[in-house]
């Protein structure tokens, strides 16, 4: 092989190797990102399931407080 052709093919192999390694790194990062998104989604679902009874209780307490503060005067709240 001619030295110029050998140098060109060596350069092409180096750049191809760098490109493949970079592509593999990007794919690995995307896989990790998807895994973390799924993990956060499951954690958010568990948090919602645990907080639902508490938020329901807070809503009922708030509704009771609003009814009591209206004092039966047609739903208008008292002024402090």
Contacts of residue 78, Cβ cutoff 8 Å, sequence gap at least 6: 69, 70, 71
Instruction: Identify the residue whose tokens are 């009814």.
Output: 67
The structure's pTM equals 0.58
Q: Between 64 and 80, name the one with better pLDDT.
A: 64
Please list the helix, strand and coil fractions of the chain in percent, rounded to the nearest 5, in that order: 85, 0, 15
Quick one: pLDDT band at residue 71, thresholds 50, 70, 90?
Answer: confident
Question: 34-62: per-residue pLDDT in tens?
Answer: 999 999 999 999 999 999 999 999 999 99
Q: How many helices (H) and strands (E) does the chain have?
A: 1, 0
Q: Between 3 and 32, name the one with better pLDDT.
A: 32
Instruction: Using alpha carbons, list the distances in angstroms from residue 76 to 51, 70, 80.
Output: 31, 5, 13
């Amino acid at each position: 092989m001619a030295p110029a052709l050998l140098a060109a093919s060596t350069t092409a192999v180096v750049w191809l190797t760098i490109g493949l390694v970079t592509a593999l790194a990007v794919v690995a990062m995307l896989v990790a990102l998807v895994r973390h998104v799924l993990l956060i989604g499951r954690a958010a679902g568990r948090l919602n399931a645990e907080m639902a009874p508490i938020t329901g209780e807070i809503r009922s307490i708030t509704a009771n407080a609003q009814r009591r503060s209206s004092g039966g005067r047609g739903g208008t709240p008292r002024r402090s």
